[in-house]
Amino acid sequence: MWMTFLIVLVLYFALMLAVNVWGFRRTHTEADFLVAGRTIGPLVGGAVLAATQMSAGTYVGTMGRHYLTGASWYLIWLGMWLGWLVSAFFIAPKLRQFGALTVPDYIAARFNSDMLRVLTGGLIVVVYVIYLVAQFQASGEIAQGAFGLHPLIGMIVIIAATCILSLLGGVLGSSYMQFIQALIMVGGLVVGIPLLVSMVGGFPAAWRFLSDLDPRLTGMYYSWQQLLGFSLAFCFSIASAPYEMTRFYSMRDVRTVKQAIAVCIFFQFLIGGAVLICGMLMRVVFPNLTSADQASTILAFQVLPPLAGSLLLLAMISAILSTCNSILLVAGAGFAHDIYARVIRPNSSDSHLILVNRATLVVLSVIPAFFALQKYGDVQGTVIVKAKLVGSFFFIPILLGLNWRGGTAAGAMAAMLGGFFSCLFWELKYQQYSATWGIDSVEVGVLTSLILFVAVSKFTKPVPEENLKVFFK
């Protein structure tokens, strides 16, 4: 298994390096680095959206949740797809039509406020550092479960690989790299399902075993209130996720964006179903794993034959790399383009800003490793916290900002800060009561953001008409 995996891994990284060197040779301006010259088509764009979202949270965290809690966790995908539909009809077309380089560019233009640009860039950096913690923790789980290595070694490998690939090709190299990674993700999962089904004696036998082990595994493990909270977190987060919205800017036109979202949902449907099947069947084969997050790694190394296991492990690494790559590009732009170029050193040249972007990527890739080693919770739990925070501070200013002329800069600032801190406060202090009270932190955050956005906008200075006419024709 070791030799097969090493051969597959070397071939994989050689291909990824070649794609990003190709992207590097075509990256000459900041626009090339951040939005790929707006050349991405629907198939590549849809695969990129799917690969960006389907991170360690999917292959390690979601499979672990299905292993631990059974079938009902699949319902959270409905919230995810609803978020994509909201984006396709109400958000993505106007964002692509506007044609900015970053999401804070849109915020600054829509609300006529450079202060909001800096605030948005700062919040993006903070939240995506949290998201990177989940990715690095998953890479540690893989290193420990598959190879018996210290988790830090897995993190160092992922950090080094992500930095090298992200520094080279920017969004152009990243997009084509993630298209290949999305294909690997599908193939890596699908190849393992027939063998697992054969090992457990077929689906009916597996269903009976799980029902006897714990009826909740084949029924409802979570309450409807909990599932609603999780689904809304992913819905709000996907509809307003900066690392997804930035990808819209790299696509050719509005029609391409809508087609790409349809392709993305198709990829997610396939991979989500395969993760559900693998997670539940692994509970049949190994009923008492000490860590649910290791179900995918053990499947790759102890259940599947060497080549199939290597492909699955490669799919997990691809998922982590694709998400880390997108996070770093967006978080790096949040500092370099929206803070450094506006506050620290205005009128910087394109070559200087590309250098600052790359330096920021290196710094932001190291910080989360410390927190990942502390292992505050499971991988999926960290991903959910990130989703709740993003939805709470960003969903309302993005959705209403694009579809309601009355939103003001003060209203957007109040909505962002109020949504972020109310969600964080509820998550830290009252989240353990959510199942009893039927109130989730993301619901508190988004509702607070909505009330503040509307109320403050009604009593503060309106945005100049020249800013509005770009978005409201």
For residue 410 the two structure tokens come to: 């003060």
Q: What is the pLDDT of residue 382?
A: 79
Beta bridge partner(s), residue 175: none
Contact (CB, 8 A) for 393 and 234: no
**pLDDT reported for residue 371:** 79
Alpha helices in 336-408 (DSSP H): 350-374, 379-403
Asked if pLDDT for residue 450 goes beyond 90, the answer is: yes
Residue linked to tokens 């399902």: 193
Quick one: pLDDT at residue 57?
67
Q: Is residue 13 part of a domain?
A: yes
Of the ranges 142-151, 227-236, 319-328, 372-381, the best mean pLDDT one: 227-236
The total of structural domains in the chain comes to 1
Mind listing the pLDDT tens digit for each residue in 154-180? 888 877 877 776 666 567 777 787 788
pTM passes above 0.85 = no
Any domain includes 69:
yes
Between 243 and 194, the higher pLDDT residue: 194
Q: Give dist(CA 30, CA 348) in Å, integer.
A: 11
Dist. CA 287–CA 284, nearest whole Å: 6
Mean pLDDT calculated for residue range 397-422: 93
pLDDT for position 248 = 81
- Least-confidence region, from 78-82, 348-352, 407-411: 348-352
Q: What pLDDT score was predicted for residue 166?
A: 65
Radius of gyration of the chain (CA): 22
- Give the residue-averaged pLDDT of 452-472: 91
Residue 447 within any structural domain of the chain = yes
Residue-averaged pLDDT of the chain: 83
Confidence of residue 262 (pLDDT cuts 50, 70, 90): very high
Predicted pLDDT at 421: 94
pLDDT of residue 146: 67
Residue 175 lies in a domain: yes
Q: Tell me which of 117-131, 155-169, 343-357, 437-451 is least confident.
A: 155-169
- Residue 454, pLDDT > 90, answer yes
Q: In the beta sheet, which residues pair with residue 40? A: 251
pLDDT score of 31: 67
Average pLDDT for residues 348-357, to the nearest whole number? 77
Structural domain contains residue 449: yes
pLDDT band at 444, cuts 50/70/90?
very high
In the chain, pLDDT over 70 holds for what percent of residues? 93
pLDDT surpassing 90 at residue 457: yes
The backbone torsions φ and ψ at residue 40, rounded to the nearest 5 degrees and listed phi first, read: -80, 135
What stretch of H or E contains 89?
none
Q: What is residue 66's predicted lDDT score, i.e. its pLDDT?
A: 93
Kindly state whether residue 473 falls inside one of the protein's structural domains.
Answer: no
Range of the domain at 163: 2-468
Percentage of the chain exceeding pLDDT 90: 21
Contact 344, 336 (CB under 8 A): no
Q: Is residue 398 part of a domain?
A: yes
Question: What is the rounded distance in angstroms from the CA atom of residue 136 to the CA atom of residue 123?
Answer: 20
Answer for the pair 325, 178: CB distance below 8 angstroms, yes or no. Answer: yes
Query: pLDDT higher for 257 or 23?
Result: 257
- Convert the pLDDT of each residue in 296-318 to its tens digit: 888 887 888 887 778 777 777 77
User: How many beta carbons lie within 10 A of that of residue 472, not counting itself?
Assistant: 13
pLDDT score of 336: 78
CATH number for position 216: 1.20.1730.10
So what's the pLDDT on residue 147?
Answer: 72
